[in-house]
Amino acid sequence: MEHTPATDWIARAAGAAEQQGAGNLLRVVLIVMVLGCAVTAWFLLRGYKREDD
């Protein structure tokens, strides 16, 4: 099977991930989780704001 430039970076990324372990992946997962919690909290709590006319 011939490698194309579009899939070459995937192979390099997979090789780098094997060498570095789960540290970078865990860091990305934690950042996405915290941002997701913040966005979810904002979305849920925005309905509770009071609008005094």
Q: What is the structure's pLDDT at 12?
A: 74
d(CA 38, CA 23): 23
Q: What is the structure's pLDDT at 31?
A: 96
- State pTM to two decimals: 0.50
Length of the chain equals: 53
Q: 10 Å Cβ neighbour count for 17?
A: 13
Which runs of E-coded beta strand occur in the chain? none
Q: What is the structure's pLDDT at 22?
A: 74
Q: Is the dihedral of CA 17, 19, 24, 29 positive or negative?
A: positive
pLDDT in tens, 1-53: 565 666 676 677 666 656 666 788 899 999 999 999 999 999 999 887 766 65
Q: What is the structure's pLDDT at 52?
A: 61
